[in-house]
Structure 1
Amino acid sequence: MSKKRREIPVFDHPIIETHCHLDYLKDRPLEETLELSRGVNIEKVITIAVSPDNLASVRELTQAAPWIYGTQGIHPHDAESYSDEVDEEIRAHASDDKIVAIGEIGLDYFYDNADRNVQRQVFRHQLQIACDTDRPVVIHSRDADDDTIEILREFESTLSRRGVIHSFTSGPGLARYALDNGWCLGFNGITTFNKAENVRDIVRMTPIEQILLETDSPFLTPVPYRGRENAPFYLPFVAEKIAEVKSLDLEEVLEKTYNNSIRTFFPQR
């Protein structure tokens, strides 16, 4: 007989899902996913753009409900698809009412799906858009700590201090650089994985005032639902794990991470 999984906890305090990919979810209709997310007190959801193919679909998704928001940006995997037309599209919509950040942008030297020189060039282009539009950034960095720091340093004087290195799995050097510059670190279901002690070490060193909660769904489903497609409604498990790792009261984690999300993405709302 299979062991019954624990039910998803429902907290009185609202939670903001700061990073997911609603257009990638396949297991259930969007309406059902949103209903289940509201059922566990997810107050806002940010769905993330990653490629020229989904810039428009992310904008369309933000119209699915008043509490759905989005970003505009090109992931390093698709850096070689960046063009003047893509640049213009991101710029044209960076300040849309339901668009809250430039992202997901950055560097990925683990998969190397795009030439590294191209990745760096495209990262710089999009950081400039963020500077020009005073938008926060959602940064992806994998096996590229040194170059990520080097490029961010080029923009220190003009880049907003509102931003996040999401799904943080990098080393303490990049963590410290980001934290010292006022950015947040985003943590997700990886924090619950048995072999992710390196990520939990970063959670421990990160002030609760600089932590954001995310799922990165449909990827990285937290324990105890690993093996299923991830979704925003699993976010309470991430909140619980952050509280456990940092030895903090769960209510404090919920309140602080909520405030961090508002400060980063919704300062005027």
Structure 2
Amino acid sequence: MLVDSHCHLNFEQLSSELDAVVARAREAGVGHMLTIGTKLREFSGVRAIAERYDEIHCSVGVHPHEAESEAADVTAAKLIELSQHPKVVGIGETGLDYFYEHAPRTLQEKSFRVHIAAARETGLPLIVHTRDADADTVKILHEEYEKGPFTGVIHCFSSGWEVAEKSMEIGFYISISGIVTFKPADDLRAHVRNIPVERLLVETDSPYLAPVPKRGKTNEPSFVAHTAAKVAELKGLDPEALAAITTDNFFNLFNKIERKI
């Protein structure tokens, strides 16, 4: 069985046919999905999806793009409160995005540190988004870790090696998306070869980043099988072995979930 460790099932491209999306995931051997919170004002919808299906859990958080629009609402206390729901198993996604900079960097950093405080307090994994912000991401993670440990994952990893290396130093996992199948992604494939398999997760980040051979289509959790196959090839493993390892890794990290697969 496979796990899609990061998807956005509340986004309209998927929510409009959610039963079919979930059915196709089951047929593809995807036994669990984690749907991700990006806005507190939309969190109730994310949580409702997780409540509706046994094999779906969710996270609560504010994407760095929303750090300005939700600045007044995102507090550690609020995240901790919302995380008490049994279906909420992670904090985020949060982090830094200097590629688009939809929010000022100062507000992104403030939000990031608030999420880290909530992750530390709850013991739930932190789900980190980082794009064109390698140095600051590493700096903040290590500064905060010195205040007290927390666990987490670098989601949709496509950064430089330092982000992987320095985050693994504090016990983080690295999640690989369909980008690893893209023709220009030679650097990422080299990094995947070097990441210990016991630190790897796989994801879709659907509805975005559909892997080869599904490029141009709306991504969905069933497509994680194509990403996993590429990662297995890079690691010199049978797809079944890679699926078993990454599934174990997922449940080791998101250990609030009662494992049924």
User: Above 0.5 in TM-score?
Assistant: yes
Q: Secondary structure at the match of 1:227?
A: coil
How far apart are the structure 1 equivalents of 2:74 and 2:114?
A: 11
Kindly indicate whether the alpha-carbon contact (under 8 Å) linking 1:47 and 1:68 is maintained by their aligned counterparts in 2: yes
Kindly indicate whether the alpha-carbon contact (under 8 Å) linking 1:179 and 1:206 is maintained by their aligned counterparts in 2: no
What's the CA shift string for 1:109-160, capped at 9, x where partnerless? 0101100111111111111111111111100011111111111112214232
Instruction: Show the counterpart of 1:81.
Output: 69
Instruction: Show the counterpart of 1:228.
Output: 217
Instruction: Show the counterpart of 2:183.
Output: 194
- The residue identity in structure 2 corresponding to 1:259 is D
Asked if 1:107 corresponds to 2:105, the answer is no
Instruction: Show the counterpart of 1:136.
Output: 125
Instruction: Show the counterpart of 1:210.
Output: 199
* CA apart distance, 1:219: 0.3
Asked if 1:68 corresponds to 2:56, the answer is yes
Match of 1:160 among 143, 150, 155: 150
Work out the percentage of aligned pairs sharing the same amino acid: 36
* CA apart distance, 1:266: 2.6
- The residue identity in structure 2 corresponding to 1:159 is P
How far apart are the structure 2 equivalents of 1:132 and 1:218?
A: 31
Q: Secondary structure at the match of 1:221?
A: coil
* CA apart distance, 1:61: 1.0
Q: Secondary structure at the match of 1:198?
A: helix
Kindly indicate whether the alpha-carbon contact (under 8 Å) linking 1:25 and 1:229 is maintained by their aligned counterparts in 2: no
Matches within 5 A, 1:1-269: 14-26=1-13, 29-87=17-75, 88-157=77-146, 158-161=148-151, 163-266=152-255, 269=258
Deviates more, 1:233-242 or 1:83-92: 83-92
Q: Secondary structure at the match of 1:22?
A: coil
| Cα gap change, 1:268 to 1:46, in 2 (>3 Å) | closer
Kindly indicate whether the alpha-carbon contact (under 8 Å) linking 1:130 and 1:159 is maintained by their aligned counterparts in 2: no
Instruction: Show the counterpart of 1:10.
Output: none
How far apart are the structure 2 equivalents of 1:66 and 1:252?
A: 24
Kindly indicate whether the alpha-carbon contact (under 8 Å) linking 2:89 and 2:257 is maintained by their aligned counterparts in 1: no
* CA apart distance, 1:226: 0.4
Q: Secondary structure at the match of 1:33?
A: helix
Gaps in structure 2 of 5+ consecutive residues: none
- The residue identity in structure 2 corresponding to 1:69 is H
- The residue identity in structure 2 corresponding to 1:234 is F
How many residue pairs end up in the alignment? 255
How far apart are the structure 1 equivalents of 2:222 and 2:171?
A: 28
- The residue identity in structure 1 corresponding to 2:157 is F
How far apart are the structure 2 equivalents of 1:268 and 1:60?
A: 17
Q: Secondary structure at the match of 1:101?
A: strand
* CA apart distance, 1:95: 2.5
What's the CA shift string for 1:154-185, capped at 9, x where partnerless? 22142323x11000011011111012222110
- 4+ runs of 1 displaced by more than 3 Å? 83-86
**TM-score scaled to structure 1, two decimals?**
0.91
Deviates more, 1:246-255 or 1:121-130: 246-255
How far apart are the structure 2 equivalents of 1:216 and 1:83?
A: 24
Q: Secondary structure at the match of 1:103?
A: strand
- The residue identity in structure 1 corresponding to 2:67 is A
- The residue identity in structure 2 corresponding to 1:96 is H
| Cα gap change, 1:38 to 1:30, in 2 (>3 Å) | same
| Cα gap change, 1:85 to 1:77, in 2 (>3 Å) | closer
Gaps in structure 1 of 5+ consecutive residues: 1-13
What's the CA shift string for 1:69-115, capped at 9, x where partnerless? 00000010000023453324422111221011001000000101100
How far apart are the structure 2 equivalents of 1:44 and 1:266?
A: 13
